[in-house]
Structure 1
Amino acid sequence: MTAFRSRTTAPLRTAAPFVIRAERASDVPAREALLDACFGDNRHERTCQRLRDGRAPAAGLALSAVRSGTLVGTLRLWHVSAGGRDALMLGPLAVAADARSLGVGAALMNAALMIAASRGHGAVILLGDAPYYARFGFSVETTSELELPGAFEHARLLGLELVAGALDGACGMILATGARERKARRSRKERMVSCAA
């Protein structure tokens, strides 16, 4: 009688459909194109964008989702004062149309909230669709007395306390407080050309 040995094979490794990582400078052109595709040409005129203008995102809280070497998602958080309370403002969150069924948005949200909590941030505020963001714990309960410097719908101003009571008593205007964005230094050749012009 011949004994047949079944060969044990290692399970096939299936590559993750995407990777979440810290945003890199090389992501910027693809990020801007993705934001234009998702939010349109007028995205720079929106209320929350006005808060972000000229500001750097919070340290470690600019994330990219990459699939097969292509940027398919982006999320950033920014320092704000929420009626006198330190908080982060989330946005924009954008996912490429061909990657929306992969869970990229949820993965970016979960990663950002985990990082924010681990860095000791107390609260996150955003302007978005309540049904989508409710699954992450966001609600209007903590933001009902807050305002934005521009037009917005109160039902879309949502908050999440990472630390209980972080938004207690938050009342008034949400204002940008983060570090100013550093301008890229021009090369010596660029400076010479602009001086000669």
Structure 2
Amino acid sequence: MLIRREQPADIEAIREVTAAAFRGVEHSAPPVEPGGDPGEATLVTWLRADGGWVPELSLVAVDGDALVGHVVCTRGTLDGRPALGLGPLSVSPDRQRAGVGSALMHSVLGAADALGEPLVVLLGDPAYYSRFGFVPARTLGVAAPDEAWGDYFQVRTLSAYDGQRGRFIYAAPFDRL
């Protein structure tokens, strides 16, 4: 398996993997169009067209000729300063629990750190994401866009972290879901 940057030829496969990964998942975003793909698949398309898109942080997992996973971080702000929001993280259903998601997470966090980013936030299951060093954001003084998210809103600090605190705001397309 190879982790690499997204290429233009990957766009449709990313949409397919994202839709399959989130289809039927309890907490996935509802379809934007009735009967359509889960909202996460549309979100990736919206993010790609947004000024918050960071091409260096849209990574795919490829096994042979098959794209089996995708992760993306986009530009958000923390109290008006640059920060990253991670998601969605998508793995083909037949490859879940086989290390693809972990490889993508380690790669995107390493790439973000190499770019000098201070931190990454996400909304997800603490039982899963704590293995990558994520902690409840509130413990570091980082406020979620929605307080009801509680400990599911998490932060991972990187080498350039300097104690930033405040309210995190995702890239604009997240507000469309």
Post-superposition shift, 1:163?
3.1
Find the residue that maps to 1:163 and give its secondary structure: coil
Post-superposition shift, 1:45?
7.6
Which residue number corresponds to residue 142 of structure 1? 140
Match of 1:44 among 39, 59, 63: 39
Q: Which has the larger radius of gyration?
A: 1
Post-superposition shift, 1:60?
0.8
Match of 1:155 among 130, 151, 154: 151
Matched, 1:172 2:172: no
**Could you report, residue by residue, the CA deviation over 1:75-120 in whole angstroms, capped at 9, with x for unpaired residues?**
0110000232321110110111111233110100101111111110
Instruction: Label 1:152 to 1:37 Cα distance change in 2 as closer, same or farther (>3 A).
Output: farther
| Higher strand residue share | 2
- 1:1-197 matches, within 5 Å, as 18-40=1-23, 42=31, 43-44=38-39, 52=47, 54-55=49-50, 57-140=53-136, 141-142=139-140, 144-148=142-146, 153-163=149-159, 165-168=161-164, 170-176=165-171
**Could you report, residue by residue, the CA deviation over 1:149-190 in whole angstroms, capped at 9, with x for unpaired residues?**
xx962221100110364453x223514279xxxxxxxxxxxx
Post-superposition shift, 1:58?
1.1
Letter in 2 for 1:110: H
TM-score, normalization: structure 1? 0.69
TM-score, normalization: structure 2? 0.76
| Count of residue pairs brought into register by the alignment | 157
Return the alpha-carbon distance in structure 2 between the equivalents of residues 115 and 165 of structure 1: 15
Post-superposition shift, 1:26?
0.8
Q: Tell me if the contact between 1:126 and 1:159 (Cα under 8 Å) persists in the aligned partners.
A: yes
Gaps of 5+ in 2: 24-29, 32-37
Instruction: Label 1:163 to 1:73 Cα distance change in 2 as closer, same or farther (>3 A).
Output: same
Aligned Cα root-mean-square deviation (Å): 2.9
Q: Tell me if the contact between 2:119 and 2:155 (Cα under 8 Å) persists in the aligned partners.
A: yes
Post-superposition shift, 1:144?
4.8
Return the alpha-carbon distance in structure 2 between the equivalents of residues 154 and 53 of structure 1: 28
Return the alpha-carbon distance in structure 2 between the equivalents of residues 129 and 52 of structure 1: 22
Instruction: Label 1:90 to 1:173 Cα distance change in 2 as closer, same or farther (>3 A).
Output: closer
Over the matched positions of the two proteins, sequence identity in percent amounts to 31
Letter in 1 for 2:39: H
Q: Tell me if the contact between 1:123 and 1:167 (Cα under 8 Å) persists in the aligned partners.
A: no
Instruction: Label 1:135 to 1:20 Cα distance change in 2 as closer, same or farther (>3 A).
Output: same
Letter in 2 for 1:174: I
